[in-house]
Structure 1
């Protein structure tokens, strides 16, 4: 698949998972639901790799890297985000998680030595402003939520930072020629096992919700939200870098809102439409090659090319 197809697939699937996650909240503890989700995804991916005769034998260093990727990206990140979603609206969660764009820029510089591209940073700022405008009514009502909002904010920021570290580890893994499918298969399995261990230590019950909504949402989140979307997204991380790929986090909340408009009577306002326009402008900017931006800003550069 080309980059555009990978990007659109990621955005469209993750835009719909916000609704699916709400069906996971209830009888089963969020931590246990996360473990179920990624355990199922890991098993299915392992079977898929085995059927395609993909390499499944790796050294201990590679397993350690996949373990780190799994725990940050498929374990802690989702557990903390589920806890955040229990306390505040999904719109505010989307705004908090959008900060992953900045964190990926920073962590890419700190851990991978990648230069900070100013047009990527500018696009991130434009996109964050757009997302804030889209969800402004929920942001304006934060004070009415009491002190619990600060707990939710801390949980959301911690989840976002874990996701960013997981992105960076995945990028590093691909540089070490660890294939995305196998890294996800082992990573999701490791993440699920770690969350099961934590749940056991916390004394949580490993019960199961037999409602059709819970089972259907679990299957959707495992197959589409985990296996397919993460395979597409992390491939983009390897090709484009974690900073550019993570801009998808600003687009899939917009998809979620449109789904809400269709099924939950969400009403677009002039402010949210303006915010959407800013998000799209930032998306165009972040996906435009640096050389093209420099050429547009300084057309005379083309005239300075040396003669043959």
Structure 2
């Protein structure tokens, strides 16, 4: 039941962040938006760690892993996603592209940890991705602006960075570093990297003092970053990268529902079929009666 709760928290929170992200970049640059988000999240996590007395001193090698975690999962991947959102790419399409992280996690898990997926895991991933593609097929066919390719490339690079961040998190958990501590240091290094970049380019940060921006910033920092990443990375350590990443296939459906409510999204027969296919992929991924045949890299 605990794993199910982690799945639900991850799906509901991360499925809600894309629309808020789009509003953030309409008021502040992507670089500054991500910096403020993770600076706030890091400060809040640091306060929690001091209150509950978690370990705060780690070796230089562990800090290198924190830096790699922050750079890949709490920094440049989000800058790229925010830039893609600022080009006009819809939240549904961004969520669709990010769902490819499940395939990237399966590949990286095999390459880095030599943990090869079951055949049914691969089948479930393929089915789920196909279902997501059907759900957003009409949006893909209608989006013909010249910046489409560059926006997709940005999202794919960002997704792969996030997948690498998942691997660094797994390494840290194997070193008995808590998810909260790893996230706090990772977010700190991520925010510092963005601050240095901002100072290097001599950019001034002008924070919009509006209710919509500040409330969105706090939601993204507290729920999207602290709670969302805690639930997902905890799930990653408990069930493995391949099955944890299936939440990345399901949460775009929640994004789709929010787009239906707030962005005039219209349901069509092909989208309903896509949702049904995603549910089928879920069965193949988590079925207790799945085949134990493994896929190995030659």
TM bin (shorter chain):
over 0.9
Q: How does 1:14-29 map to 2 (within 5 A)?
A: 14-29=14-29
Indicate the residue corresponding to 2:296 in structure 1: none
Distance in structure 1 (CA, Å) of the matches to 2:93 and 2:233: 25
Indicate the residue corresponding to 2:239 in structure 1: 240
Give CA-to-partner distance per residue, 1:204-225, whole Å, 9 cap, x none. 3211111211100000000000
Deviation at 1:71, TM superposition (A): 0.8
Matched, 1:100 2:101: yes
Aligned residues of 1:27 and 1:209 also touching (Cα < 8 A): yes
Matched, 1:43 2:62: no
Matched, 1:293 2:290: yes
Distance in structure 2 (CA, Å) of the matches to 1:180 and 1:68: 15
Distance in structure 1 (CA, Å) of the matches to 2:121 and 2:198: 39
Structure with max Cα Rg: 1
Give CA-to-partner distance per residue, 1:58-108, whole Å, 9 cap, x none. 111111111111110000110111111122222221221111111111111
Indicate the residue corresponding to 1:84 in structure 2: 84
Unaligned runs of 5+ in 1: 298-308
Where 1:260 maps in the other structure, the secondary structure is: helix
Indicate the residue corresponding to 1:216 in structure 2: 215
Distance in structure 1 (CA, Å) of the matches to 2:31 and 2:180: 24
Matched, 1:6 2:3: no
Indicate the residue corresponding to 1:124 in structure 2: 125
Where 1:95 maps in the other structure, the secondary structure is: helix
Deviation at 1:288, TM superposition (A): 2.2
Indicate the residue corresponding to 1:254 in structure 2: 253
Q: If the length of structure 2 is used for normalisation, what is the TM-score?
A: 0.94
Q: How does 1:65-214 map to 2 (within 5 A)?
A: 65-87=65-87, 88-142=89-143, 144-146=144-146, 148-214=147-213
Give CA-to-partner distance per residue, 1:31-81, whole Å, 9 cap, x none. 111011011001101100110111111111111111111110000110111
Aligned residues of 2:39 and 2:191 also touching (Cα < 8 A): yes
Matched, 1:267 2:269: no
Unaligned runs of 5+ in 2: 294-298
Distance in structure 2 (CA, Å) of the matches to 1:61 and 1:103: 25
Distance in structure 1 (CA, Å) of the matches to 2:149 and 2:265: 26
Does the C-alpha gap of structure 1 residues 294 and 111 become closer, same or farther in structure 2, counting only changes over 3 Å? closer
Aligned residues of 2:18 and 2:255 also touching (Cα < 8 A): yes
Judge which range, 212-221 or 111-120, deviates more: 111-120
Aligned residues of 2:166 and 2:233 also touching (Cα < 8 A): yes
Where 2:24 maps in the other structure, the secondary structure is: coil
Distance in structure 2 (CA, Å) of the matches to 1:198 and 1:110: 32
Q: If the length of structure 1 is used for normalisation, what is the TM-score?
A: 0.91
Indicate the residue corresponding to 1:59 in structure 2: 59
Distance in structure 2 (CA, Å) of the matches to 1:169 and 1:273: 36
Distance in structure 2 (CA, Å) of the matches to 1:199 and 1:245: 34
Aligned residues of 2:135 and 2:270 also touching (Cα < 8 A): yes
Deviation at 1:26, TM superposition (A): 2.3
Where 1:294 maps in the other structure, the secondary structure is: coil
CA RMSD of aligned residues (A): 1.5
Matched, 1:281 2:280: yes
Indicate the residue corresponding to 1:31 in structure 2: 31
Deviation at 1:278, TM superposition (A): 1.2
Indicate the residue corresponding to 2:224 in structure 1: 225
Give CA-to-partner distance per residue, 1:182-231, whole Å, 9 cap, x none. 00011111111111112222333211111211100000000000000100
